[in-house]
């Protein structure tokens, strides 16, 4: 019954969007036929500049308390007052581009409908400023009335979609869709009026320069706020690291699990991946003959290799890899850098922090963030790269199911000498062969996170120290 209800909602949602597209196309055809669209080179340049503002600022909403200020709305309203609704629709074009065709259709139809309606209301009071060059009371009334029309229709169309698609209660729609954005909407209309006055008092070019300068300042403020939030989040995590690192090696294992569990709340996958990587990394390191203190540090580094993901926006983590744009990929490729900054604050783990930074480097120099080649990458970072990849292949991820063991092994072999170190791959495969099927698939209780009372597969000795892990690995050194 639930599946049938969901299917019905999906069909009704599509019908609503297609109906809205038909209304928008009819309104656009009527406007072009009846009202006509004046053309001028100044209008073309102005619309191009405002469209660039929309493209740059479309993902930069500014938060002031509970009020969100959208720069894109300001650019579109300014285009409506300066140039008219059809030119404003061209300005809004960058803000309607998404990867999902249905979402593009809905966004384009919504913009066309609300801009043409708002443009008609504005036309009842005044002509677009570029053609009349007169700032008077009728222009003020027209701007306010068209702004009210713009936001009222936008709220109506979107709230109707929410009601159809999700069954959102009307009271919640009124509170979230209508009441909450009112301060931001009023600020956008007032900004459009200010830009109109600047155009009449100075010139169209001066008005555009002022608007673009304001948009640039707001964009800088957005990045500043984002950076501050990231730094505050990282500082909080670093303080947790310092507080729990009291000197015993069991403490780093415990706080590492706490940090990973924090990321787990973001994507539901990282904790399992970190736990598997930690166990595999420790066993491979022992097979290489590394001393026990170094093995233990590598285990902690494996747990924390992706802790820098706390600095990555949730929408990037939840977006499938094939749908990530260049900006999202840039955010993602910075997480080893943030991880190193956090980890390097812990006394005694400065070197391990560099392993975290370089665990996505590749033998052929095509990795990130520093594009190091094989001989410049520490052995521990190479181990992290191999075990992390294998864990990601065999575990069910947020965007794809896990692979069978033989396919995951083949993935390691295919990358040997290119992305991964040959000796590390050879050693890791030997470790996998020396253990059972559950070990190779990371599917038993050995692959859990350390807890305050101990870590998986480990027992405390009477003096509180942690005994060596019992993984079943054949020790050759």
Specify whether 77 is located in the same domain as 146: yes
Give the Cα separation of 377 and 387 in Å (integer): 15
At 320, which CATH number? 1.10.3210.10
Rounded average pLDDT over 318-340: 76
Quick check: is 243 in a domain?
Answer: no
For 137, the token pair is 């009371």
Q: What 3 state SS string does 223-258 have?
A: HHHHHHHHHHHHHHHHHHHHHHCCCCCHHHHHHHHH
Which comes out higher in pLDDT, residue 305 or 38? 305
> What is the reported pLDDT for 249?
40
- Domain limit, last residue, from 190, 223, 256: 223
> What is the reported pLDDT for 456?
42
Q: Is the pLDDT of residue 185 over 70?
A: yes
At 178, which CATH number? 1.10.1760
Quick one: pLDDT band at residue 230, thresholds 50, 70, 90?
low
Q: pLDDT tens digit string along 388-402?
A: 999 989 988 766 788
Quick check: is 273 in a domain?
Answer: yes
- Domain limit, last residue, from 174, 206, 223: 223
Rounded average pLDDT over 1-21: 74
Query: How many other C-beta atoms lie within 10 A of the C-beta of residue 69?
Result: 21
Q: Is the pLDDT of residue 341 over 50?
A: yes
Query: Number of folded domains in the chain?
Result: 2
> What is the reported pLDDT for 26?
93
Quick check: is 393 in a domain?
Answer: yes
Specify whether 196 is located in the same domain as 330: no
CA dihedral 247, 252, 253, 256 (to 10 degrees): 160
Specify whether 207 is located in the same domain as 264: no
Specify whether 291 is located in the same domain as 210: no
Specify whether 30 is located in the same domain as 142: yes
Q: Is the pLDDT of residue 22 over 60?
A: yes
Quick check: is 238 in a domain?
Answer: no
Which of 173-182, 363-372, 430-439 is predicted with the least confidence, judged by mean pLDDT? 173-182
> What is the reported pLDDT for 379?
93
Q: What 3 state SS string does 301-358 have?
A: HHHHCCHHHHHCCHHHHCCCHHHCCHHHHHHHHCHHHHHHHHHCCCCCCHHHHHHHHC
Which of 162-166, 405-409, 452-456 is predicted with the least confidence, judged by mean pLDDT? 452-456
Specify whether 67 is located in the same domain as 124: yes
Quick check: is 463 in a domain?
Answer: no
Q: Which residues of 84-97 are buried (b: 16+ CB within 10 A; e: fewer)?
A: bbbbbbbbbebbbe
> What is the reported pLDDT for 453?
38
Rounded average pLDDT over 143-167: 83
Rounded average pLDDT over 328-353: 81
Specify whether 27 is located in the same domain as 152: yes
> What is the reported pLDDT for 455?
41
Average pLDDT, the chain: 74
Which comes out higher in pLDDT, residue 417 or 5? 417
Quick check: is 308 in a domain?
Answer: yes
Specify whether 210 is located in the same domain as 291: no
For 310, the token pair is 């706390």
For 184, the token pair is 């931001």
Quick check: is 312 in a domain?
Answer: yes
Rounded average pLDDT over 279-290: 92
Beta bridge partners of 69: 62
Q: What is the pTM of this model?
A: 0.47
Specify whether 132 is located in the same domain as 253: no
Cβ 186 vs Cβ 74: under 8 Å: no
φ, ψ at 420 (rounded to 5°)? -120, 155
> What is the reported pLDDT for 285?
94
Quick one: pLDDT band at residue 19, thresholds 50, 70, 90?
very high
Q: pLDDT tens digit string along 129-147?
A: 777 777 788 888 988 999 8
- What residue has token string 């820098």? 308
User: Containing domain of residue 365, as a range?
Assistant: 248-447
Quick check: is 84 in a domain?
Answer: yes
Specify whether 187 is located in the same domain as 260: no
Specify whether 8 is located in the same domain as 156: yes
> What is the reported pLDDT for 227?
56
Specify whether 215 is located in the same domain as 269: no
Which comes out higher in pLDDT, residue 353 or 65? 353
Which comes out higher in pLDDT, residue 279 or 264? 279
């Amino acid at each position: 019954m639930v599946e049938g209800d969901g299917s019905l909602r999906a069909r009704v949602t599509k019908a609503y969007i297609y109906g809205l597209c038909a209304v928008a196309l009819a309104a656009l055809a009527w406007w072009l036929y009846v009202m006509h669209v004046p053309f001028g080179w100044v209008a073309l340049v102005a619309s191009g500049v405002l469209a660039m503002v929309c493209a740059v600022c479309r993902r930069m909403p500014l938060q002031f308390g509970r009020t969100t200020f959208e720069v894109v709305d300001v650019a579109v309203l300014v285009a409506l007052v300066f140039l008219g609704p059809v030119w404003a629709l061209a300005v809004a074009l960058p803000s309607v581009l998404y990867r999902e065709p249905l979402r593009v259709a809905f966004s384009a139809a919504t913009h066309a409908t609300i801009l043409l309606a708002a443009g008609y209301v504005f036309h009842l009071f005044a002509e677009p400023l570029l053609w009349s060059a007169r700032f008077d009371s009728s222009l003020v009334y027209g701007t306010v009335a068209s702004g009210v029309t713009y936001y009222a229709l936008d709220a109506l169309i979107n709230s109707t979609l929410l009601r159809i698609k999700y069954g959102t209660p009307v009271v919640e729609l009124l509170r979230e869709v209508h009441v909450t954005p009112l301060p931001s909407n009023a600020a956008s209309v007032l900004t459009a009026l200010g830009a109109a006055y600047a155009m009449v008092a100075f010139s169209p070019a001066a008005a555009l320069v002022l608007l673009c300068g304001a948009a640039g300042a707001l964009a800088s403020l957005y990045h500043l706020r984002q950076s501050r939030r990231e730094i505050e989040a990282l500082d909080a995590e670093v303080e947790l690291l310092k507080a729990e690192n009291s000197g015993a090696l069991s403490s780093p294992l415990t706080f590492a699990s706490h940090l990973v569990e924090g990321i787990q709340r973001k994507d539901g996958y990282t904790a399992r991946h970190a736990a598997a990587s930690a166990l595999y990394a420790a066993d491979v390191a022992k097979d290489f003959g590394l001393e026990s203190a170094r093995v233990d540090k590598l285990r902690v580094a494996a747990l924390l290799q992706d802790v820098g993901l706390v600095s990555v926006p949730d929408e990037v983590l939840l977006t499938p890899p094939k749908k990530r744009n260049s900006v999202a990929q840039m955010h993602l490729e910075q997480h080893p850098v943030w991880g190193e900054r956090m980890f390097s604050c812990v006394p005694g783990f400065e070197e391990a922090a560099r392993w975290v930074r370089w665990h996505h480097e590749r033998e052929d120099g095509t990795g990130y963030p520093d594009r190091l080649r094989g001989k410049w990458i520490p052995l521990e970072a190479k181990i992290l790269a191999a075990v992390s990849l294998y864990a990601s292949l065999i575990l069910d991820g947020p965007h794809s199911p896990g692979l069978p063991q033989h396919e995951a092994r083949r993935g390691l072999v295919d990358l040997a000498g290119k992305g991964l170190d040959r000796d590390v791959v050879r050693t890791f495969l030997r470790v996998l062969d020396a253990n059972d099927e559950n070990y190779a698939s990371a599917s038993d209780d050995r692959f859990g996170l350390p807890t305050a009372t101990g870590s998986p597969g480990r027992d405390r000795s009477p003096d509180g120290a942690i005994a060596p892990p019992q993984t079943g690995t054949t020790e050759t050194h």
